[in-house]
Amino acid sequence: MKKLLLAGVALAGSIAMTSGAFAEIIIATAGPMTGQYASFGQQMKIGAEQAVEDINAAGGVNGEMLKLEIGDDACDPKQAVAVANQMVGKGVTFMAGHFCSGSSIPASSVYAEEGIVQISPASTNPKFTDERPNPDGGTYRVCGRDDQQGEVAGKLLWDEFKDKNVAIIQDKTAYGKGLADQTKAAFEALGGKVIMYEAYTAGEKDYTALVSKLKQAKIDALYVGGYHTEAGLIVRQMRNQGMDTVLISGDALVTDEYWSITGDAGEGTLMTFSPDPALNPEAAPVVEEFKKKGLTTEGYVLYTYAAIQAYVDAVKAAGSTDYDAVNEALNAGEFPTVLGNLSFDDKGDVTLPGYVWYKWSDGKYGYK
C-alpha cells in the first residue's frame, strides 16, 4: 500500500513537471464589454486577441504560451473590483485594462495587493498613476493623461473662442469630470471665462432641458467631459433646436459609434486624441493583419496591443513573471511597440507624444 502511495506521489510529481513544462502565462483585458460603452470594450478585446495570437505565433514568452481572459466591468467601479478579484482566482499575472478611469482606479488596489501588473490602454485620470497603490510600480498606462488633454483643449478654447460664449459640462464620472475640470483650469489660466459649468447624468436619452439652457445662454462652444453616447445625443438635440454650437470633447469620441448616433449633426465636432498609431511604421504589419480580418484599428485597439507588447518584453527581460522583477524591467526599459518606442516615468505614465486635434466630418474623424 505504501509503495502504491509513493508511486502515486511520483506519478503526480511527474505530471506536475510535465504540465509545468507546457505552462501558460495567463493575462487579461477588462473593460465595458457590454453596456453603452461596449464599443470601447470591443476595441480592447480585438487588440488583445491579436496581440496574443501574434506573440504565440512567434514562439510565446520564455517558452510559454499566452492565454487571454476577458473581463466585463461595464465601466462600473464595483463591477470592476469584482472582475479584478475574478482575475486573481484565474491566476492572471497581467491586466491590460481597464478602460474607464472609474474602473481602473479601484481595481488597481486589488492588482497591487495580489501582485498583478496592470497597464491601462485608456484610463486618463491623473489619479490612476499619481496615487497608484504601489509607488514602486505595478500600475502603468500607455495612453496620456487628462491634465495633458485638458491643457490642449483649454488652449484651443482660448485661441478660437476667447471672445465667444463657452460652456463646459461633465458627466460626474472620474474620467468626464476630471477632463472637464482640467480643461476649465487651463482655459481660465489663459484668461478665459466659462459662462456656464454644468453636470449631467450619463445614460439618459433626453437632454432637452440642458440644451435649452445652453441655447438661452447663446453658447458658441460646448466642451463635453464625458463619453460619445451622451455627447452624440447632446449635439443632435442642439441641432434640433437650431443651434450651431461647436461641440468639443476628448478621446472618448474615438469610435465610429459616435457618428452612428449623431449622423450629420456630428459634422465639425472636435476632439483630442493621441497621434494616430495606425500611421506608425512599426504598426504597419499589425494594421495589415487587422485589415485582412476586416477589423478596425480605431480608438484603443493598438493601445491594448501595445500594453501587452510592453508587458511581454518586460517578462522576457525579467526572465519570469515575478511581480517585482517585471516591475523593475518596466521601470527601466524601453519597449518597441505599435505605438513606437515607449518607456514609463517614475509614476508609471508613458513617455510618448501627447494630444493632437481631430475633427469629425462626413462620418469619419481625421486630423483637424
Confidence of residue 308 (pLDDT cuts 50, 70, 90): very high
**What ranges make up the beta strands (E) of 32-97?**
65-72, 94-97
Q: What is the pLDDT of residue 22?
A: 54
Q: What is the mean predicted confidence (pLDDT) over 285-305?
A: 95
| Cα atoms found within 13 Å of the Cα of residue 285, Cβ hemisphere only | 4
Burial of 45 (0-12, 13-18, 19+ CB in 10 A): buried
Confidence of residue 17 (pLDDT cuts 50, 70, 90): very low
Other residues' Cβ atoms within 10 Å of the Cβ of residue 318: 19
With 80 as the cut, is the pLDDT of residue 296 above it?
yes
Residue ranges of the domains in the chain?
A: 19-144+279-342, 147-273
Other residues' Cβ atoms within 10 Å of the Cβ of residue 204: 12
DSSP 8-43: HHHHHHHHHHHHHHT-EEEEEEEE-SSSTTHHHHHH
- The overall average pLDDT reported for the chain is 93
**Domain 147-273 in the same topology as domain 19-144+279-342:** yes
pLDDT-above-70 percentage for the chain: 94
194-199 and 166-170 strand pairing: parallel
CATH no., domain 19-144+279-342: 3.40.50.2300
Q: What is the mean predicted confidence (pLDDT) over 313-322?
A: 98
Q: What is the pLDDT of residue 170?
A: 98
Stronger pLDDT, 328 or 9, i.e. the higher one: 328
**pLDDT digit string (tens) for 28-74?**
999 999 999 999 999 999 999 999 999 999 999 999 999 999 999 99
Burial of 289 (0-12, 13-18, 19+ CB in 10 A): middle
Q: Which CATH superfamily is domain 147-273 in?
A: Response regulator (3.40.50.2300)
Q: What is the pLDDT of residue 167?
A: 98
Confidence of residue 213 (pLDDT cuts 50, 70, 90): very high
Distance CA 247, CA 235 (A): 7
Q: Which residues, 6 or more positions from 42, have their beta carbon under 8 angstroms from its beta carbon?
A: 33
Per the CB < 8 A criterion, the answer to whether 84 and 72 are in contact is no
With 90 as the cut, is the pLDDT of residue 13 above it?
no
Q: What is the pLDDT of residue 18?
A: 36
Q: What is the dihedral of CA 130, 132, 133, 139, to 10 degrees?
A: -160
Q: Which one-letter DSSP state was computed for residue 245?
A: P
Confidence of residue 4 (pLDDT cuts 50, 70, 90): very low
Other residues' Cβ atoms within 10 Å of the Cβ of residue 274: 23
